[in-house]
A and B are shown apart, each in its own frame.
Chain A
Amino acid sequence: MPITRDEVAHLARLSRLALSDEELDHLAPQLDQIISAVAQVQEVAADGIPPTTHATGLVNVFRSDEPVPCLTPEQALSGAPAVELQRFKVPRILVEE
């Protein structure tokens, strides 16, 4: 089932990528080609095979809860595009309907 240009546009919105029309035209057939190729995994008989999320087998790694030095506010904010009152300043997040 080929992936359509509309589906790719939807994926771009979900991914917070403001793609141009030219990029959509270019990426849609590429994504379709890649998805058909990786769909090969569906040929593998894997009923009852447990999934692997990571290779080390480690589960629930804990450390003792001890205070240690951390970044200063100045360090934490040092790369921020905008700062106000020792906080990250961001564009408005609520839009009036």
Chain B
Amino acid sequence: MSELIKKTAAELAAAVTAGEASAVEVTQAHLDQIAAVDGQVRAFLHVAADDALAQARAVDRKRAAGEPLGALAGVPVAVKDLFTTVGMPTTCGSKILQGWRPPYESTVTGRLRDAGAVLIGKTNMDEFAMGSSTENSGFGPSRNPWNLAKVPGGSSGGSAAAVAAFEAPLALGTDTGGSIRQPASVCGVVGTKPTYGGNSRYGVVAFASSLDTPGPFGRTVLDAALLHEAMSGHDPMDSTSVDAPVPPVVEAARHGDVAGLRIGIVSEFSGDGYQPGVMTRFTEAVELLESLGAKVTEVSCPHFKYALPAYYLIAPSEVSSNLARFDGMRYGLRTGSGSAEEVMAATREAGFGAEAKRRIMLGTYALSSGYYDAYYGKAQQVRTLIIRDFDAAFAQVDVLISPPTPTTAFDIGERADNPMAMYLADLCTIPSNLAGNAAISVPIGLAPEDGLPVGLQVMAPPLADDRLYRVAAAVETAFTERWGHPLLAEAKGISR
């Protein structure tokens, strides 16, 4: 195994910029790792070997010509397969888009190309980002690099697994109800849901438009911040993109510090249903934060218990509308015969998996005349109350903390046909999506009972994304010192 794949994105960009390693060498080392382990991990739906090497050669040519290089010069990035990418397929983990090659590039991936990053391939995901395990992918599940019998979380499970398996130092995901933070937590990597509107959704295939948030994965807090900064910023192509400066996340990641910081524990996120080992590590992290000078208190957010039901009305409602575009007429699968309506119904029946169908019908129900006020309308009011809970909490504390998800990685198959059990994985992450604020998951150790990674969720007000990195960097530094090595050094799931 090449030593290059063990390096951080920050180190790789510095090495490429200084000419100590070429972008081609760095890319090839990661392609070799993918070839060696992805048969086991199955993080990728498409490995863009030739394309990636061509991108890398372009970076090396720029350097040779003395041109300025971007912040991610020569750094491979794995891309969740719902960002449109010119020259690579984009399937969203769905058979309805199998083989589709988009004619335009997403703003986020375009920015990464401009920053010198090498897009190395497209990662597996729950179909259209609906799920918490990648088992809803039309192309089979990805596996957790800590234990191949376990899920890597989802929906951005392929991206989290790719980073944890050293197949790429960085990966892109999207987080609609926890789809970055939960897989980051169960794979032992760092993952951030930035403030809604901080990143462009242009070229991000829509799941729930009012909630979808592109964000970064990395093995270190600084790496996640580097990707966060490179992908962020206002985009006129997305009318929901916020015209505000990008929070100084890299600066914050370089200066982890919680001294004097007011931290609130969300009291609703503990108790029944929380795995003991997850709470053991959470309590240990709280003690660590206190020892580093933070003032930790408990804060109650009384409406958070209604976040999950509200989300499972709002998100499916938006899904039933957004997925109406997959009609077999302009792109993607077309099957069946007869009238356009018959072809549509046959195409959608053949192309969508069970969870997509469940959510489309749930949303259609919630938006139906006669049910709208009782379901969708009420859920939107609950959304307001959750925002008010956050506002009240952030009047008392600077950040909130909780477990990112109630358990460690569960067995593949364990919840596959039990939708309500699967939905509980998003219990602690959903409030930040409904409120549109910022949250991160950072590794804090292994659960004693199963030896699987546990994360800490930190939540901050909208556009205060830098606070997440200041806290996460302090936690990372202190724990890494205590353990004597990064957490991922203990991952032994992949046989060689």
Identify the A interface with B (CB < 8 A).
3, 8, 11-20, 23, 26-27, 30-31, 33-35, 37-44, 46, 49-56, 58, 61, 63, 71, 75-76, 78-82, 88, 90-93, 95
A79 touches B309 (CB 8 A): no
Interface set, chain B 328-358, CB cutoff 8 A to A: 328-334, 336-346, 348-349, 352, 354, 357-358
A17 touches B348 (CB 8 A): yes
Cβ contact of B360, chosen from A17, A35, A88, cutoff 8 A: A17
Cβ contact of B358, chosen from A31, A44, A51, A79, cutoff 8 A: A31
In Å, the complex CA distance between A52 and B383 comes to 6
A54 touches B240 (CB 8 A): yes
Query: Is the C-beta of B202 less than 8 angstroms from some C-beta in chain A?
Result: no
Across the interface, name the chain B residue whose C-beta is closest to A7: B365
Which residues of B sit under 8 angstroms from A52, Cβ to Cβ?
380-381, 383-384, 387, 434
A41 touches B358 (CB 8 A): no
B361 touches A31 (CB 8 A): yes
A sample of 19 inter-chain contacts (CB < 8 A) reads A15-B357, A16-B345, A17-B345, A18-B349, A37-B420, A41-B313, A43-B306, A46-B378, A46-B381, A51-B380, A55-B434, A56-B240, A76-B103, A79-B102, A79-B332, A88-B330, A91-B339, A91-B343, A92-B339
Across the interface, name the chain A residue whose C-beta is closest to B197: A56
B312 touches A79 (CB 8 A): no
Identify the B interface with A (CB < 8 A).
100-104, 196-197, 210, 236, 239-240, 242, 303, 306, 309-310, 312-313, 320, 324, 327-334, 336-346, 348-349, 352, 354, 357-358, 360-362, 364-366, 368, 374-375, 377-385, 387, 419-420, 434-437, 462
In Å, the complex CA distance between A76 and B171 comes to 29
B339 touches A46 (CB 8 A): no
Distance in Å: Cβ of B240 to nearest Cβ of chain A: 6
A75 touches B103 (CB 8 A): yes
B340 touches A41 (CB 8 A): no
In Å, the complex CA distance between A44 and B467 comes to 32
A46 touches B436 (CB 8 A): no
Contact A23-B357, Cβ < 8 Å, known A11-B365, A55-B196, A56-B197: yes
Which residues of A sit under 8 angstroms from B303, Cβ to Cβ?
44
Among A17, A63, A78, which residue has the most Cβ atoms of chain B within 10 A?
A17
Which residues of B sit under 8 angstroms from A55, Cβ to Cβ?
196-197, 210, 387, 434-437, 462
In Å, the complex CA distance between A27 and B360 comes to 12
B210 touches A11 (CB 8 A): no
Across the interface, name the chain B residue whose C-beta is closest to A48: B381
Which residues of B sit under 8 angstroms from A26, Cβ to Cβ?
354
Which residues of A sit under 8 angstroms from B239, Cβ to Cβ?
58, 61
B196 touches A49 (CB 8 A): no
Contact A15-B349, Cβ < 8 Å, known A54-B240, A56-B196, A63-B236: no
A44 touches B378 (CB 8 A): yes
A19 touches B357 (CB 8 A): yes
Cβ contact of B385, chosen from A11, A49, A82, cutoff 8 A: A49
Contact A8-B378, Cβ < 8 Å, known A49-B384, A82-B334: no
A17 touches B103 (CB 8 A): no
Which residues of A sit under 8 angstroms from B434, Cβ to Cβ?
52, 55
B375 touches A11 (CB 8 A): no
B329 touches A88 (CB 8 A): yes
A38 touches B360 (CB 8 A): no
Q: Mostly helix, strand, loop or mixed at chain A's interface?
A: loop
Cβ contact of A44, chosen from B197, B328, B334, B385, cutoff 8 A: B385
Which residues of B sit under 8 angstroms from A49, Cβ to Cβ?
381, 384-385
In Å, the complex CA distance between A39 and B365 comes to 12
A50 touches B384 (CB 8 A): yes
Distance in Å: Cβ of B313 to nearest Cβ of chain A: 5
Which residues of B sit under 8 angstroms from A8, Cβ to Cβ?
361
A79 touches B196 (CB 8 A): no
Which residues of B sit under 8 angstroms from A61, Cβ to Cβ?
239-240
A34 touches B358 (CB 8 A): yes
A38 touches B436 (CB 8 A): no
Given A46-B384, A55-B436: 20 more A-B contacts, CB < 8 Å: A11-B361, A11-B368, A15-B348, A16-B344, A18-B346, A27-B357, A31-B361, A31-B362, A44-B306, A53-B380, A54-B196, A54-B210, A56-B197, A56-B242, A61-B240, A78-B103, A79-B330, A79-B332, A82-B334, A88-B330
Which residues of B sit under 8 angstroms from A42, Cβ to Cβ?
374, 378
Contact A18-B101, Cβ < 8 Å, known A46-B381, A92-B340: no
In Å, the complex CA distance between A56 and B98 comes to 34
B358 touches A27 (CB 8 A): yes
**What are the nearest 6 A-B pairs in CB distance?**
A55-B436, A79-B331, A51-B380, A81-B334, A46-B381, A75-B103
Which residues of B sit under 8 angstroms from A80, Cβ to Cβ?
330-331
Contact A51-B357, Cβ < 8 Å, known A58-B197, A79-B331, A92-B339: no
In Å, the complex CA distance between A8 and B330 comes to 28
Which residues of B sit under 8 angstroms from A92, Cβ to Cβ?
339-340
Among B101, B379, B462, which residue has the most Cβ atoms of chain A within 10 A?
B379
